[in-house]
Homo-oligomer: A and B are copies of this chain.
Amino acid sequence: MLRIGIIGVSGYTGVELARILANHPNAVLTLATSRQHEGRLLSEVYPNLKGCIDITCTNPDQDTLARQADFFFTAVPHKTAMTIVPPLLEGGKKVVDLSADYRIHDVAIYEQWYQKHTSSELIGEAVYGLPELYRDKIKTARLVANPGCYPTSVTLGLAPLLRNKIIDPATIIIDSKSGTSGAGRSANLATLYCEVADGFRAYKVGGTHRHIPEMEQELSVLAGDSVTISFTPHLLPVSRGILSTIYAKNISGAGESEIKSIYKDAYMNETFVRVCPSGNYPATQHVRGSNFCDIGFSLDTRTGRVIILAAIDNIGKGAAGQAIQNMNLMNGFDERAGLLGAPFFP
């Protein structure tokens, strides 16, 4: 059994990693760090895990930490990750980093949207952890940068169309809606129940969300040209789930059946991408608690636009699920190990 350490277990992503690992056939959680909850049972912090996982939160120094696991998930905020990841790699460990710190290949762009990068020497080595695009590189990577939640839905939704030059990249507009768990588990007035429930709003309007450079990087690779997007995130009164509604001009003349074939071909061997039957569209409640990305599309012949819909669980395929998928690949496990539980509905 591979010994796993989660650095930063107290957030919603941390606990979802622990939940998946509790039933993983090849891995066992041996380290769960949390400054805030040091000394407490993880199942006290998250009573759902009672009887499922028996581990105490610790806050060891870097040396101790490295001895207690062979493989690490860093589920800490960006900037913090930069200081934790390098010594782990030096100690011979493999890491999936769930922060944004190693996702952006161009340091200048990273520093423009985030802050100064203090371990930029690792950026070149880090592999962007979207298995459906970079499976082979992930298999041999020491450091995988786990994608952002919005970028996962958007990149999987657009990849087949961009690769096949179906749409005009200059016309891409992305309207995304995320569940509240994406905002994390910290005491915050804006995500109190009464502020979110029975309501809906946009945030970071006008091209200011930090996932934009990440999406533009990946979409540009797929398009073979520099892509600039409009992206507007919204906050849904649900705990889990992202639905991205994506608009772009059809410049190919392709009809519905051709586009359907393109999606089918692209994802026929992908366990975790499900292309919806014609006339059906994804719903976040159908991917809840899973590592699936559901994709549907429609051709609006009145306007010549394609509308693509992609749904994920933001802490599943959008974070912890995908991280486990990457871990599986990096260690030669069955890529699906631990991830085959069906989404729960209702």
User: What is A's interface to B at a CB cutoff of 8 Å?
Assistant: 12, 15-16, 19, 22-23, 44, 46-53, 173, 175, 177, 180-181, 185-189, 191-203, 205-207, 228-230, 232, 234, 236-241, 243, 245, 247, 271, 274, 276-277, 280-290, 292, 294, 296, 298-303, 305, 307, 309, 311, 340-346
A238 touches B237 (CB 8 A): yes
Question: Looking at the complex, which one of B281, B284, B340 makes contact with A199 (CB distance below 8 Å)?
Answer: B284
A225 to chain B, nearest CB (A): 15
In this complex, which of A200, A245, A247, A271 has the most chain B Cβ atoms within 10 angstroms of its Cβ? A200
A47 touches B286 (CB 8 A): yes
CA of A175 to CA of B245 in the docked complex: distance in angstroms? 8
With A307-B205, A307-B232, A340-B23 in contact, is A47–B283 under 8 Å at CB? yes
Copies of chain A in the complex: 4
Chain B residue, CB-CB nearest to A172: B303
Question: Looking at the complex, which one of B22, B194, B299 makes contact with A12 (CB distance below 8 Å)?
Answer: B194
A47 touches B276 (CB 8 A): yes
CA of A307 to CA of B175 in the docked complex: distance in angstroms? 11
B302 touches A47 (CB 8 A): no
Question: Looking at the complex, which one of B19, B180, B206, B340 makes contact with A300 (CB distance below 8 Å)?
Answer: B206
